[in-house]
């Protein structure tokens, strides 16, 4: 029996809506040929469509066949389709990849599609190349075309220049590209590649735009001042013709900036041409805002950070408050929009439908109702440093809780043996504990003799040894098992841990800010909180741990809790 995605259906052309088509240019002769073929044979190869939320269908792959069929036969023609359920995002990605695999797609369109696929792969070029079925070198070449100006890419899409021309232009600043492409398209014929390459090589790199120390560039044989007379299209003085040296010095400055920012942000990336879709600006307000509370919470996320540009024309520019998880950001924006809509609905209701609560102030005439705050997700991705640290705290808390409750200790011992076995028990630690409590060295090879020695000790010592078995096991238990053990014990991490310098030193400034907001330390600090955050990290930590009147005990941030639903202790 065929599945829904395999079965061929027929749907009226006029009832379909267009989907994403990465191809923006269609050769008129090719479209005419396609229409002529369809006029004679109809549409033979089914197109791919997906159901939409309103009960209709959207084209995923086969936009040209759909458009040609509508032109030839009109809106009532029933076109063969494969129907496959998928989200809009999945459909867009499938359309991108399906069109890239077609041989007649322009390299510029391939570049734009590849750039979007790279964004969906969170910047992983290896994963993007795999999805596209390309080699890594092929992907890099196409992404390099994204540094072409819009006019250059459009000229390539329309086949007015060749790929070789576009690849050479991609190395030049966009402002220069715009001047060159106008002259190229006005000329009666294209400049031969060899001549064009020679002209562009003379342009090379602008020293005036360099972000590195140019003291050593004076007198260098690669300074364009010494080469201006060699080229017809020479750009005059102030340019470097040794791009490898230029790029190496530039990257050294960018890496230094990255190190400088790493104290403030968990994640700092240098963004190269074509990687623009891998990051998004985190904002609280506006059409793409996540809301004020969520924006504050996001600052503690491992995917919050800063970007340093390595894109021509913007090299060295630093962009702060960036989100590296575009999918998560989209969900947060959607949550804020939904909350705003709900607030608008509530505001539109008659006053009698919403009785005022005791203590509520009546709204003034013309005053806008407050927006409903979207649900804030403070359970964010935590840095590996904190993950490793909190596992140690969890193990300590488990040991203390079990040692203090013999009954639960016995229950946990039985549960551990049923699920994990006894392989985690350390005979060395158990023997050392026995000797420490009794003063007697236990037998390592004779179980019967060891049992006799255990019989001779008092009940309290045996109970302590029993507790020691589980405590010994805990050191070897996988960290993924710890939360359920802590939850069974109803452990309160706040009884075993308190905010200190060791923990705060594991965090970046943005993470420290998020923690301070979450546990109420920001409010306790007062109005100078944000000006204080501009200082050095060690001074920030000292001041945050010395806020007069703030009760540090019991204040546990979500990044230290053993389950996402555990709230911060009041």
3-state SS of 126-172?
HHHHHHHCCCHHHHHHHHHHHHCCHHHHHHHHCCCCCHHHHHHHCCC
> 3-class DSSP state for residue 270?
strand
As a whole number of angstroms, the distance between CA 437 and CA 466 comes to 13
Residues in the chain: 570
pLDDT at 258: 92
pLDDT at 227: 39
* Cα separation of the two ends of the chain: 59
**Count of beta carbons in the 10 Å neighbourhood of residue 449:** 12
**Count of beta carbons in the 10 Å neighbourhood of residue 127:** 14
Helix (H) or strand (E) holding 39: helix 28-41
Locate the DSSP E strands across 310-432: 318-323
The CATH classification number of 8-105 equals 3.90.1530.30
The answer to whether the CB of 467 falls within 8 A of the CB of 406 is yes
pLDDT at 519: 93
pLDDT at 439: 82
As a whole number of angstroms, the distance between CA 259 and CA 118 comes to 25
Q: Measured on CA atoms in the order 555, 558, 563, 566, is the torsion positive or negative?
A: positive
Q: Exposure string (b/e) for 155-167, b if CB count within 10 Å is 16 or more? A: bbbeeebeeebbb
Residues 6+ apart with CB under 8 A from 500: 545
Q: CA 45, 34, 61 angle in degrees (round to 5)?
A: 45
In the chain, what's the furthest Cα-to-Cα distance? Answer: 106
The answer to whether the CB of 415 falls within 8 A of the CB of 477 is no
Residue 286 φ/ψ region, left for φ over 0, alpha for ψ in the -120 to 50 degree band, beta for the rest: left
pLDDT, tens digit, 9 for 90 and up, residues 135-177: 888 888 888 888 888 999 989 988 899 888 887 777 677 887 8
pLDDT at 381: 56
pLDDT at 185: 92
The answer to whether the CB of 59 falls within 8 A of the CB of 14 is no
Nearest to residue 512, comparing CAs of 321, 263, 329? 263
Taking CA atoms, 473 is separated from 95, 403, 443, 486, in Å, by 53, 13, 21, 14
pLDDT at 229: 38
- Starting at the earlier edge strand, list the strands of the sheet with 304-309: 267-271, 304-309, 318-323, 280-281
Residues of the chain with pLDDT under 50: 1-5, 226-235, 354, 356-359, 377-380, 564-570
> 3-class DSSP state for residue 205?
strand
DSSP letters of 287-315?
TT---HHHHHHHTTSTTEEEEEE-STTST
Q: Where in the chain is the domain with CATH 3.90.1530.30?
A: 8-105
Q: Which two tokens stand for residue 125?
A: 């070029």
As a whole number of angstroms, the distance between CA 80 and CA 523 comes to 63
């Amino acid at each position: 029996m065929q599945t829904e995605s395999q079965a061929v259906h027929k749907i009226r052309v006029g009832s379909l809506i267009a989907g994403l088509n990465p191809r923006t240019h269609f050769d008129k002769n090719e479209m005419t040929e396609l229409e002529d073929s369809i006029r004679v044979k109809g549409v033979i190869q089914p197109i791919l469509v997906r159901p939409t939320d309103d009960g209709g269908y959207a084209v995923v792959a086969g936009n040209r066949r759909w458009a040609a069929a509508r032109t030839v036969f009109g809106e009532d023609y029933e076109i063969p389709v494969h129907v496959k359920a998928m989200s809009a995002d999945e459909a867009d990605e499938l359309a991108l990849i399906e069109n890239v695999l077609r041989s007649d797609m322009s390299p510029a369109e391939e570049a734009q599609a590849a750039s979007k696929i790279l964004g969906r792969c969170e910047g992983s070029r290896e994963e993007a190349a795999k999805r596209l079925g390309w080699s890594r070198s092929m992907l890099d070449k196409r992404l390099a075309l994204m540094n072409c100006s819009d006019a250059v890419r459009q000229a390539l899409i329309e086949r007015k220049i060749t790929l070789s021309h576009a690849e050479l232009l991609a190395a030049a600043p966009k402002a220069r590209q715009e001047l060159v492409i106008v002259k190229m398209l006005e000329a009666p014929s294209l400049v031969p590649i060899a001549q064009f390459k020679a002209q562009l090589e003379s342009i090379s790199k602008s020293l005036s735009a360099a972000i590195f120390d140019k003291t050593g560039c004076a007198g260098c044989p690669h300074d364009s001042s010494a080469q201006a007379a060699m080229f017809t299209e020479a750009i005059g003085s102030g340019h470097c013709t040794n791009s490898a040296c230029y790029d190496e010095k530039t990257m050294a400055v960018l890496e230094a900036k990255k190190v400088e920012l790493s104290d403030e942000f968990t994640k700092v990336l240098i963004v190269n041409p074509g990687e623009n879709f891998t990051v998004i600006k985190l904002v609280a307000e506006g059409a793409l805002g996540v809301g004020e509370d969520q924006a504050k919470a996001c600052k503690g996320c491992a995917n919050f950070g800063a970007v340093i540009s390595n894109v021509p024309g913007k090299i060295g520019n630093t962009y702060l408050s960036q989100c590296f998880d575009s999918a998560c950001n989209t969900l947060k924006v959607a949550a804020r929009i939904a909350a705003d809509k709900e607030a608008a609905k509530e505001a539109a209701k008659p006053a009698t439908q919403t009785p005022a609560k005791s203590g509520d102030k009546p709204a003034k005439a013309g005053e806008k109702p407050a927006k409903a705050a979207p649900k804030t997700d403070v359970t964010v991705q935590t840095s590996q440093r904190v993950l490793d640290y909190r596992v140690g705290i969890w193990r300590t808390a488990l040991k203390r809780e079990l040692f203090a409750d013999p009954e639960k200790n016995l229950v946990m011992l039985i549960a551990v043996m049923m699920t994990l076995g006894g392989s985690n028990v350390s005979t060395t630690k158990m023997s050392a504990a026995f000797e420490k409590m009794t003063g007697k060295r236990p037998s390592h090879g004779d179980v019967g003799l060891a049992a006799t020695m255990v019989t001779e000790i008092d009940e309290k010592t045996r109970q302590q040894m029993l507790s020691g078995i589980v405590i010994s096991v805990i050191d070897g238990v996988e960290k993924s098992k710890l939360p359920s053990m802590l939850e069974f014990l109803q452990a309160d991490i706040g009884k075993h841990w308190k905010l200190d310098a060791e923990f705060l030193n594991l965090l970046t400034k943005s993470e420290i800010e998020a923690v301070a907001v979450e546990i109420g330390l920001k409010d306790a600090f007062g109005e100078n909180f944000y000006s204080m955050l501009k200082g050095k990290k060690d001074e920030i930590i000292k001041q945050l741990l010395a806020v007069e009147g703030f009760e540090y005990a019991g204040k546990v941030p979500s990044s230290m809790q053993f389950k996402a639903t555990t709230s911060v202790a009041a």
